[in-house]
């Protein structure tokens, strides 16, 4: 059912509140596509690198002024100096899709935290988690299987907690040790609870905001009444706040606006001053020093009222998506009655990370030191300069950033011809000998001219192939690729060969000035000067041809139409290899190929006996396969590597590193014969890119961990 108030054509899995994670749509799709990685055997000293900041979903502050930060993948960070410095504290769950929708610090025990969690795979539900050591370790505190959206503690009865879930309202009267349902089970209306507020003077009085208007109980959940008079019908109540002084005054935020009631919800008045586009208000927070000051965290910045809601002012840029806001209690140094110190206000945003204000929310400055936790959907390295890397950070202020010092500093990729940091709707990034390449969500292809600092669009031109295919006599028995014996010359390609989406471009390679682009239809080629790609052959369409040059710059292997093709003359002609695939592998499952040597393999090695060097590697949907260039069969690589699809790789002179779709980063030092998993401990993630920089350290891109670096002395 669409939400009438905000005109959503399709309701998000968690109602209009699904907008709280809307900027993570890329991450949601990718994380659900990748399976969660199992636990690691040991931990290595991975270090976060990359631009500071990231997606902050929830914030909480303790009486001691410790600030806790929750992410959309289960991480909890802590700052013990008002947001000036952050460090990773722990992780609520081993799952990578644990969304920490709400963090709560026990007001009586500031080392005890609660986290309202739901999983992005909604079939798994969620739970309420508890930490007794300031967020370092977590256990399930109850509500297992429930999609938990919020939890609140009673100010007047600290042992009373109330939680809102997709199925209703739950109460604990023993500080979260046990939970009982507080709303009628199976009620068609009192469900999908997105917000909870407890009357500061009476723990029996509770307000519950649902996807469909608010409810109220006066008797600890024995009876409930709808309290929606004055609200636009079908409003999703995202946040509720009872005035700390006047308990009959209640604020509510909905996708239809911000409302105020002066009589405990009997009647609501819609407050004016916030434009319609900013009405997705994620959180409402009252200033503890002055209840007339109320902060509203919206999808279009922070709005502040200093007169109880009569007038509002936006104090941040409009494009900031503010997910949460907290007000720090006054420090001991500022507790004097005559102290002019201002209240510190912290914002948790979707892209800018944490921002802090020392002037009652008038101005804000970044506060992300130690917090670098962005979605890293890709990482590629310049083949000619190991210190030069490109990272793709969807949802960040600058989606494409590069480093020329091995990850020490990052800059937006400049573009003098396009607004922003590159082409819109990036879907994949590549590195070739001639520079960076980007494929957009619509299948458009761009190359980056570093000297001119601009992106160049490439055109796919449907025409008859210009490159002939031949068979080298020295490589018998080979046959001409895809050309039937009865056909004298190739036939033109149809218009169906033009790419139509990101999955249609699998890889990009270059030999000199020539470019080779693989699609499901065919292998395309072109030159830098033209920026036009034409079908390389009108043969049987390849599925995922790709490859990399060997030591001989004119040689390259590629996968084409389920077969291996080989060029020894920089792509002017190709021949087909006839070594058959194992019965379980179909040609359509081949993703990319790499040709060795990858490392020096000792001759007296039992594992390499009878396997001449250099090897060939082929990534398939079923796993990584290996054979030697003179070998006659393909073998599934095991010895520590799972039988899953490799999604990112790095091949250096002394090591191979591969990221698997099922999670994990794997290292080989013996030419891809045996593998060891690089243990990331609590920072385990789903990797999308890897590289080695000049000092020997490894860099990795993760959908859940951002950009990480492993020092050379930590590499097994």
pLDDT tens string 362-413: 999 999 999 988 889 999 999 889 999 999 998 888 889 999 999 989 999 8
Instruction: Give the pLDDT score at 342.
Output: 62
Instruction: Give the pLDDT score at 693.
Output: 87
Q: Phi first, then psi: give them for residue 462, nearest 5 degrees.
A: -80, 115
What's the rounded Cα separation, in Å, for the pair 89 and 131?
Answer: 11
- Assess whether pLDDT exceeds 50 at residue 545: no
When pLDDT is cut at 50, 70 and 90, the band that residue 130 belongs to is very high
Cβ–Cβ < 8 Å for 79, 356: no
- Which two structure tokens, joined as six digits, stand for 482? 């895809």
At 123 the three-state DSSP class reads helix
Which residues contact residue 234 at a Cβ distance below 8 angstroms, ignoring those fewer than 6 apart?
A: 3, 4, 5, 212, 213
The residue whose two tokens read 């909480």 is 60
Instruction: Give the pLDDT score at 611.
Output: 40
Higher pLDDT, 561 or 228: 228
- Assess whether pLDDT exceeds 60 at residue 9: no
Q: Is the peptide bond before 477 cis (omega within 30 degrees of 0)?
A: yes
Instruction: Give the pLDDT score at 630.
Output: 66
Q: Kindly state the percentage of the chain with pLDDT values over 70.
A: 77
When pLDDT is cut at 50, 70 and 90, the band that residue 3 belongs to is very low
- Assess whether pLDDT exceeds 60 at residue 329: yes
Buried b (16+ CB within 10 A) or exposed e, 555-567: bbbbbbbbbbbbb
The residue whose two tokens read 């030697």 is 628
Q: Is the peptide bond before 614 cis (omega within 30 degrees of 0)?
A: yes
- Assess whether pLDDT exceeds 80 at residue 419: no
Average pLDDT (449-456) is 87
Burial of 128 (0-12, 13-18, 19+ CB in 10 A): buried
Average pLDDT (278-292) is 86
- Assess whether pLDDT exceeds 50 at residue 517: yes
What's the rounded Cα separation, in Å, for the pair 696 and 390?
Answer: 18
- Assess whether pLDDT exceeds 70 at residue 25: no
Higher pLDDT, 608 or 441: 441
Give the highest mean pLDDT range of 147-161, 221-235, 282-296, 669-683. 147-161
- Assess whether pLDDT exceeds 50 at residue 547: no
Average pLDDT (285-293) is 90
Instruction: Give the pLDDT score at 598.
Output: 64
The residue whose two tokens read 């796993």 is 623
- Which two structure tokens, joined as six digits, stand for 182? 């507080």
- Assess whether pLDDT exceeds 50 at residue 73: yes
Instruction: Give the pLDDT score at 629.
Output: 60
Q: Phi first, then psi: give them for residue 255, nearest 5 degrees.
A: -70, -5
Higher pLDDT, 466 or 425: 425
Query: What is the DSSP secondary-structure string of 530-593?
Result: T-EEEES--SSPPSS----B-SSTT-EEEEETTEEEEESSTTS--EEE-PPPPTT--GGGEEEE
When pLDDT is cut at 50, 70 and 90, the band that residue 235 belongs to is confident
Burial of 306 (0-12, 13-18, 19+ CB in 10 A): middle
β-partners of residue 3 are: 8
Report which of 375, 514, 537 is spatially closest to residue 447, judged by C-alpha positions: 514
376-381-382-388 Cα dihedral, nearest 10 degrees = 70
At 30 the three-state DSSP class reads helix
Instruction: Give the pLDDT score at 279.
Output: 66
- Which two structure tokens, joined as six digits, stand for 89? 């504290």
- Which two structure tokens, joined as six digits, stand for 247? 């308990």
- Which two structure tokens, joined as six digits, stand for 445? 């292809």
Average pLDDT (321-335) is 77
H-type alpha helices, 249-310:
none
- Assess whether pLDDT exceeds 90 at residue 288: no
Burial of 454 (0-12, 13-18, 19+ CB in 10 A): middle
Cα–chain-centroid distance for residue 459? 31
Average pLDDT (154-180) is 96
Which residues contact residue 144 at a Cβ distance below 8 angstroms, ignoring those fewer than 6 apart?
A: 125, 127
What's the rounded Cα separation, in Å, for the pair 242 and 418?
Answer: 48
- Which two structure tokens, joined as six digits, stand for 107? 């007001």
What's the rounded Cα separation, in Å, for the pair 107 and 200?
Answer: 13
User: What region, left, alpha or beta, does residue 377 occupy, with left being phi > 0 and alpha being psi -120 to 50 degrees?
Assistant: alpha
- Which two structure tokens, joined as six digits, stand for 353? 């990370």
Instruction: Give the pLDDT score at 564.
Output: 72
Which residues contact residue 564 at a Cβ distance below 8 angstroms, ignoring those fewer than 6 apart?
A: 557, 558, 576, 577, 579, 593, 616, 618
Edge-first strand order for the sheet with 213-217 is: 193-198, 206-210, 213-217, 225-226
Cβ–Cβ < 8 Å for 231, 213: yes
Confidence (pTM)? 0.78
Report which of 457, 427, 433 is spatially closest to residue 445, judged by C-alpha positions: 457
Sketch out the chain's domains with CATH numbers.
1-32+227-327 (2.130.10.10)
The per-residue pLDDT for range 198-224, each reduced to its tens digit, is 999 999 999 999 998 999 999 999 999
Average pLDDT (219-237) is 90
- Which two structure tokens, joined as six digits, stand for 700? 């990795």
- Which two structure tokens, joined as six digits, stand for 368? 């992300």
What's the rounded Cα separation, in Å, for the pair 85 and 329?
Answer: 18
Average pLDDT, the chain: 80
Higher pLDDT, 277 or 144: 144
Lowest mean pLDDT among 80-84, 249-253, 254-258, 497-501: 497-501
Sign of the four-CA dihedral 24, 29, 30, 33: positive
Higher pLDDT, 365 or 475: 365
Average pLDDT (291-309) is 93
The residue whose two tokens read 């020392």 is 358
Provide the strand spans (E) within 262-384. Answer: 269-270, 281-286, 294-298, 301-305, 313-314, 322-327, 345-349, 354-357, 365-366, 372-373, 378-382
When pLDDT is cut at 50, 70 and 90, the band that residue 341 belongs to is low
Which residues contact residue 662 at a Cβ distance below 8 angstroms, ignoring those fewer than 6 apart?
A: 34, 35, 37, 642, 644
At 411 the three-state DSSP class reads strand
Average pLDDT (653-659) is 86
- Which two structure tokens, joined as six digits, stand for 324? 């949460």
DSSP code for 122 = G
Which residues contact residue 500 at a Cβ distance below 8 angstroms, ignoring those fewer than 6 apart?
A: 442, 443
Pairing of strands 250-254, 257-261: antiparallel
- Assess whether pLDDT exceeds 70 at residue 681: no
At 627 the three-state DSSP class reads strand
Query: What is the DSSP secondary-structure string of 489-540?
Result: SPPPPPGGGS--SGGG--EEEEETTEEEEE-SS-EEEEETTT-EEEES--SS
Q: Kindly state the percentage of the chain with pLDDT values over 90.
A: 44
- Assess whether pLDDT exceeds 60 at residue 650: yes
Report which of 317, 310, 17 is spatially closest to residue 148, judged by C-alpha positions: 17
Higher pLDDT, 1 or 382: 382
What's the rounded Cα separation, in Å, for the pair 123 and 129?
Answer: 18
Which residues contact residue 478 at a Cβ distance below 8 angstroms, ignoring those fewer than 6 apart?
A: 471, 472, 575, 576, 577, 578
Give the highest mean pLDDT range of 522-531, 532-541, 634-643. 634-643
Cβ–Cβ < 8 Å for 664, 353: no
What's the rounded Cα separation, in Å, for the pair 161 and 441?
Answer: 45
What's the rounded Cα separation, in Å, for the pair 365 and 363?
Answer: 7
393-396-402-406 Cα dihedral, nearest 10 degrees = -70
Instruction: Give the pLDDT score at 599.
Output: 52
What's the rounded Cα separation, in Å, for the pair 699 and 29?
Answer: 24
Helix or strand (DSSP H, E) at 131: strand 126-131
């Amino acid at each position: 059912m669409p939400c009438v108030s905000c005109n959503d054509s399709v309701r998000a899995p968690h109602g209009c509140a699904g907008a709280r994670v809307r900027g993570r749509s890329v991450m949601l799709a990718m994380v659900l596509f990748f399976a969660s990685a199992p636990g690691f055997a040991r931990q290595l000293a991975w270090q976060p690198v990359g631009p500071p900041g990231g997606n902050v979903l929830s914030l909480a502050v303790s009486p001691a002024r410790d600030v806790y930060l929750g992410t959309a993948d289960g991480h909890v960070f802590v700052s013990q100096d008002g947001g000036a410095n952050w460090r990773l504290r722990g992780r609520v769950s081993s799952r990578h899709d644990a969304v920490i929708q709400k963090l709560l610090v026990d007001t009586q025990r500031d080392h005890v935290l609660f986290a309202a969690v739901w999983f992005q795979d909604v079939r798994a539900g969620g739970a309420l988690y508890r930490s007794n050591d300031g967020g370092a370790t977590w256990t399930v505190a109850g509500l297992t299987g429930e999609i938990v959206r919020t939890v609140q503690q009673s100010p007047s009865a600290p042992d009373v907690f109330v939680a809102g879930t997709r199925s209703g309202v739950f109460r604990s009267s023993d500080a979260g040790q046990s939970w009982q349902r507080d709303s009628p089970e199976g009620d068609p209306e009192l469900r999908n609870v997105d917000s909870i507020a407890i009357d500061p003077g009476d723990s029996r009085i509770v307000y519950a905001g649902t996807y469909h208007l608010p409810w109220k109980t006066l008797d600890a959940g024995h009876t409930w009444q709808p309290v929606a008079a004055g609200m636009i019908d079908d409003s999703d109540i995202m946040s509720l706040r009872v005035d700390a002084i006047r308990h009959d005054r209640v604020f509510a935020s909905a996708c239809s606006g911000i409302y105020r009631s002066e009589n405990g919800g009997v009647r609501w008045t819609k407050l004016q001053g916030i434009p319609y586009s900013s009405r997705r208000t994620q959180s409402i927070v009252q200033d503890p020093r002055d209840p007339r000051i109320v902060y509203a965290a919206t999808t279009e910045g922070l709005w502040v009222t200093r007169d109880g809601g009569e007038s509002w002012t936006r104090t941040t840029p409009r494009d900031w998506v503010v997910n949460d806001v907290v007000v720090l209690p006054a420090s001991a140094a500022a507790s004097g009655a005559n102290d002019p110190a201002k209240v510190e206000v912290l914002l948790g945003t979707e892209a800018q990370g944490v921002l802090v204000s020392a002037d009652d929310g008038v101005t804000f400055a970044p506060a992300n030191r130690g917090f670098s936790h962005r979605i890293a959907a890709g990482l590629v390295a310049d083949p000619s300069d190991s210190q030069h890397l490109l990272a793709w950070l969807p949802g960040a202020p600058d989606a494409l950033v590069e480093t020329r010092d091995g990850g020490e500093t990052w800059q937006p990729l400049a573009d003098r011809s396009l607004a922003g940091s590159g082409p819109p709707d990036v879907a994949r990034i590549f590195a070739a000998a001639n520079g960076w390449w980007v494929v957009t969500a619509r299948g458009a292809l761009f190359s980056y001219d570093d000297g001119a600092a601009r992106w160049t669009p490439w055109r796919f031109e449907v025409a008859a192939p210009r490159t002939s295919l031949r068979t080298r006599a020295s490589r018998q028995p080979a046959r001409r690729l895809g050309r039937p014996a009865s056909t004298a010359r190739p036939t033109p390609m149809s218009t169906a060969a033009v790419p139509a989406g990101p999955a249609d471009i699998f890889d990009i390679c270059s030999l000199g000035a020539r470019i080779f682009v693989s699609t499901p239809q065919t292998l395309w080629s072109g030159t830098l000067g033209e920026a036009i790609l034409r079908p390389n052959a009108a043969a049987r369409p390849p599925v995922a041809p790709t490859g990399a040059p060997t030591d001989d710059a004119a040689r390259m292997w590629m996968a084409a139409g389920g077969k291996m093709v080989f060029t020894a003359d920089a792509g002017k002609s190709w021949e087909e290899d006839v070594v058959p695939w194992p019965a379980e592998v179909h040609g359509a499952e081949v993703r990319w190929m790499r040709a060795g040597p990858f490392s020096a393999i000792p001759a007296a090695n039992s594992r390499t006996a009878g396997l001449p060097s250099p090897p060939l590697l082929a990534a398939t949907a079923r796993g990584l396969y290996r054979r030697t260039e003179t070998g006659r069969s393909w073998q599934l690589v095991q010895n520590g590597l799972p039988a899953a699809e490799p999604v990112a790789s790095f091949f250096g002179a002394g090591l191979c590193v591969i990221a698997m779709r099922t999670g994990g980063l794997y290292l080989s030092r013996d030419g891809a014969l045996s593998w060891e998993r690089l243990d990331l401990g609590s920072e385990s993630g789903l990797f999308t890119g890897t590289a080695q920089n000049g000092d020997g350290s490894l860099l990795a891109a993760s959908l859940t961990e951002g950009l990480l670096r492993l020092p050379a002395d930590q590499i097994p």
